[in-house]
Amino acid sequence: MSLSVAIAGASGYAGGEVARLLASHPEFDVVTLGAHSSAGHSIRSVHPHLASFGDRVFAETTVDALTGHDVIALALPHGESGELGEKLRARGGYRVLLDLGADRRLEDSMAWASFYGGHHHEPFVYGMPELLRSSGPTQRERISAATEIAVPGCNATAVTLALAPLLASGIVSPSDVSSVLAVGSSGAGRSLRSDLLGSELIGSARPYAVGGTHRHLPEIRQNFAHASGHEVSVSLTPVLVPMSRGILATCSAVLLHPRTVEEIRDVLAEAYANDVCVSVYDVGSLPSTGDVLGSNTVALGVAVDKSVNRVIVVAAIDNLVKGTAGAAVQCLNLVCGFPETQGLSLDGFAP
């Protein structure tokens, strides 16, 4: 018997992507798609690509509408998901509660206050199965035993998986980690903003949240601390580029001792040997966002700049799949005892 699913914020990009992925999953039945301003409108009027939902309409996003499902996914802005999640936790009755927003990711209330503000909600188990941990159970084991999961941020996913194994193995210095990310506009959500209009985006690239202000920074630092056992200094510079999907993160760190690119590639390959959603490219090949669009794959490529003694790891993901909705489905599979990649494609689409 299929497990019933309710999605709050299903009219947005992330919620719509969860609906798209679960529509073809044999073990889940998407029963309720909640929205605010789109409530009462047909799903096709907002997501015409979701043809399998036929003439169904969006429900009001209320506690009553969401309660009673086996799985509840909250794809809402920060602040909203935390408050709604508390009301749902008080009701109970679900098997899995997923928060795709930021409200349940950060363990440090001071970091939350600095980057988000407002009430700091109790963190959920962090939904990145591939995250290395310096001690205790593996992250995959923690997720498998959880009932409440915080889905990672998309930029945090790319940067974390690019460098965590190198920090954990002591190959690179924790004092000078840097990443510049080319980010597709869907990462900003579906809300109407003048800076996201096509006429503003097309033919232009624009940095944003520069100078240590991006909200995924404390999440990345938290991940690196769990992976390596110590604090890591991280600089993050995202750049909005004219593409709808995808993140290309060019990450670098100082090598503590000279290493060949082959040695570093082998460290990454060994770290992710059992992680089918991570693809480590051969030396000499670097990924592009086109390699992974539509897939739940993180593609990694490695280079070494000997002139400055730095390693460069390039990570490519589809921000709406592995960066958000695909990670949610991957975690659902683990919690419910299904094959980890069921309902997910590791293959991208081309051209």
Residues known to be catalytic: 154
Cα 296 to Cα 294: distance, rounded to the nearest angstrom: 7
Q: By C-alpha distance, which of 270, 257, 248 is closest to 306?
A: 257
Cα 229 to Cα 282: distance, rounded to the nearest angstrom: 29
- β-partners of residue 304 are 311
Question: Quick one: CA dihedral 20, 21, 26, 30, positive or negative?
Answer: negative
CB-based contacts of 30, cutoff 8 Å, min separation 6? 5, 7, 19, 22, 23, 53
- Cβ 188 vs Cβ 201: under 8 Å: no
Residue with the two structure tokens 């993160």: 249
Cα 53 to Cα 49: distance, rounded to the nearest angstrom: 10
Instruction: Classify residue 341 as exposed, middle or buried by CB count within 10 Å of its CB (0-12, 13-18, 19+).
Output: middle
CA 52 to the chain's CA centroid: 25
Q: What are the structure tokens assigned to 267, written together? A: 């460290």
Angle, nearest 10°, between helix axes 154-168 and 261-271?
Answer: 110
